[in-house]
Amino acid sequence: MISFVRAIRLLSTRVLNRFRKGQITRDDLFIGEVLKRNNLITEFQLKSALDTQRELLLQKGRAVRLGQVVVELGFATEADIIRTIKAEYQIEVTSLTDDIRELLSYKYGTYFERLPQPRIPMWMQLAVAITFIIVLTIATLSMVVLDQQKTRLYEQSVRLGMVSLNYFANNAPIPLLEDDILRLNTLIKEAARVEGLRYALIVGSNNLIKAHTDINLIGVPFKHFIEDPDSTREGEVIYYSYNRPDGERLLDLYRTISFKDKPMGQVHVGISLNFIEDLIQRERISVIFITVAILLVGLGVAVLYGFRFSRPISHLVKATEEIARGNYQYRVPVKRNDELGNLGTAFNRMGQELWKNAMTQKSFGKYVGSEVLDMILANPETTWLKGTRNQATILFGDVRGFTSFSADKPPEQVVEALNTYLEMATGVIIKYGGYIDKFIGDAVLGVFGVPVFRQDHVQRAVRAAMYLQEELRREGRHGNHLLSAVGISIHTGDVVAGNVGSQSKMEYTVIGDSVNLAARLNSFAGQGDVVISRQVREQLGAMIEVQELGPQLIKGMAMPVDVFKVMRIQNQAQANE
């Protein structure tokens, strides 16, 4: 335990230090330390929460925040955790799902960390990427190619010098033996015409220059251009490089002149290496121009395709924002015949389906209530939609004398009055936890206890009926006499609840004798009355005051049915005492 405590303290210290520097990446551990420091959780509870978090990560493949784990384990409430974090760091946190790390970084981070992340358009990213690829590719190729070319030019210069040396060495022995200076200089003079060859000279056995492309140097003692040169030998040819006083770099090649294996002197040839650099430099300039041209073309293509790809994505982002705001009718303009066009078409189709589902949900929610609707949408394939036997309470409300009421009134007035009644009945039934099974002309059928079972579904149905009658009487005083003529009957018992219909049209409903009995009991309910069966009476006991209407013969029932008129029901506070 001691080592664990030390480890936690060390880890929390490191996390807090990283937080102060604006480098924190996860807020789980420091939240655990804050909760422990404020005595919301103990050391053991923190360890249990961390172990549970690791298990959830392995099971779900994603991280669950430590604060949520602490709440789920019952170690602390979400409100206490949020209040502690607010007091500790003076930040506005509304939920454990908030990005606490971002809030902390924004408040305590450096100026640059508080700045919003720059938004780089796709076309610019594509242009930068293509520019980088082009420059990197051409730079790499040019380095390799130019380096190879430079090597080949150097080797070619050496070969050129060797050819000249061999020519002089083969033609100079006789004139050198005869000391024919004229012939030797005539031989050397031909060398001046070779590109890149800076000099050629013949040295006699007495180390005096016998012939030279610069006639002013004839008869001058010869001395190597640098002392102890780093020479390279290839056969009879020796060569080395050096720099002239004017900065030009030359390659000096020389070999011995022999006659019948007797040395008679040397011949030297100097080849400029600067012209190689000049050639390479010209090639580099050409490469730069080619690179710039390719870059311009590449940037143009990148920007063109960047806009071509980013524009439909921008439309999709805009459409996503509109969909998120509930505007399911928003459509993405589709002008392409490629994958992005297919994506836009699919997105529009999705929006259309979402709109249909939203309309269905909105319409269905008017009848079943939000709680039932959420349950249906969360588990649309559960067995309770496929037909199951359940205990439920049925409320049936019908207008007394509706035929005579509508006979002498315009249809518009009749429909308006009827809709007012149905709207009020729907609101009250849903308010008390039921749902509207169906409207049958001027009658409404409400169900309590399915699909969401509640232990007090009988009480809810009777309370809804009594409250509805009060509301109808109050509104009926304003001139809508139809509202004062509603009779309500209630029965509880077994029903079969589930989807009924075909593949093209289906509805969730309840069927069974209990439904039929609730509807037939309605004939004993006068205007403004609420009548119930013995089963309902027995369920509520002393909670209600009733008037016995006696046993009544009902069509379809072999035995008379006891019917009661509800006079009063205790309010919720009295019922709980």
Report the CATH number at residue 514: 3.30.70.1230
Q: What is the mean pLDDT of residues 16-43?
A: 60
| 524 located within any domain | yes
Considering the domain architecture, whether residues 441 and 534 belong to the same structural domain is answered as: yes
Query: What is the structure's pLDDT at 24?
Result: 31
Is there a single domain that holds both residue 216 and residue 86?
no
DSSP line for 197-232: EEEEEEEETTSBEEEESSGGGTTSBP--SSSS---E
Largest CA distance in the chain: 161
Eight-class DSSP state of 119: P
Same structural domain, 198 and 79: no
Instruction: Write the pLDDT tens digit of every residue in 269-291.
Output: 888 888 777 777 888 888 888 88
Query: Is residue 560, in this structure, part of any structural domain at all?
Result: yes
Q: Residue 6 — pLDDT band, cuts 50, 70, 90?
A: very low
Residue 371 belongs to some domain of the structure: no
Per-residue three-class SS string for 418-434: HHHHHHHHHHHHHHCCC
Instruction: Indicate the residue among 279, 306, 341 that finishes a domain.
Output: 279
Q: Are residues 144 and 100 in the same domain?
A: no
Question: Do 475 and 553 have their domain in common?
Answer: yes
pLDDT number for residue 566: 95
Of 279, 299, 316, the last residue of a domain is 279
Is residue 391, in this structure, part of any structural domain at all? yes
- What is the tens place of the pLDDT at every residue in 523-547? 999 999 999 999 999 999 999 999 9
- Residue 344 resides in a domain: no
Collapsing DSSP to helix, strand or coil, 457 comes out as helix
Task: Note whether 56 and 162 are same-domain residues.
Answer: no
Put residue 449 in one of left, alpha, beta given phi > 0 → left and psi -120 to 50 → alpha. Answer: left
Helices (H), 21-65: 28-37, 43-60
Q: Domain range holding 73? A: 2-114
Q: Which residues contact 267 (CB under 8 A, 6 or more apart)?
A: 165, 168, 169, 172, 200, 201, 202, 203, 254, 255, 257
101 and 182 fall within a common domain: no
Orientation angle between helical segments 100-108 and 2-20, nearest 10 degrees: 50
Domain tally, the chain: 3
Helix axes 100-108, 78-89, angle to 10 degrees: 10
Whether this prediction's pTM lies above 0.85 is answered by no
Q: Is the pLDDT of residue 107 over 70?
A: no
Q: What is the pLDDT of residue 2?
A: 38
Specify whether the CB–CB gap between 467 and 486 falls below 8 A: no
Q: Is 376 part of any domain?
A: no
Say yes or no: 149 and 201 in one domain.
yes
Is pLDDT larger for residue 346 or for residue 193? 346
Residues 267 and 404 in one domain: no
Position 324 in a domain:
no
Q: What is the pLDDT of residues 372-396, one digit of tens each?
A: 566 666 666 555 566 788 899 999 9
At residue 153, the pLDDT reads 79
For residue 10, being part of any structural domain is answered with yes
Between 363 and 222, the higher pLDDT residue: 222
pLDDT score for 312: 79
Residues 43 and 165 in one domain: no
The Cα 568–Cα 564 span in angstroms is 12
Same domain, 440 and 557: yes
Confidence of residue 521 (pLDDT cuts 50, 70, 90): very high
CATH code (residue 161): 3.30.450.20
* Helical axes 43-60 vs 28-37, angle rounded to 10°: 160
Mean pLDDT (whole number) for 234-254: 88
Query: Which 8-state DSSP code applies to residue 93?
Result: -
pLDDT at 519: 94
Instruction: In whole angstroms, give the CA distance from residue 344 to residue 354.
Output: 15
Between 10-19, 151-160, 200-209, the lowest mean confidence (pLDDT) is in 10-19
d(Cα 512, Cα 491) in Å, to the nearest integer?
A: 12
Q: How far apart are CA 279 and CA 149, in angstroms?
A: 10
What average pLDDT is seen over the chain?
80
Residue 58 has pLDDT above 90, yes or no: no
Confidence of residue 492 (pLDDT cuts 50, 70, 90): very high
Spatial contact of 29 and 15, defined as CB atoms under 8 Å apart:
yes
Q: Say yes or no: 146 and 66 in one domain.
A: no
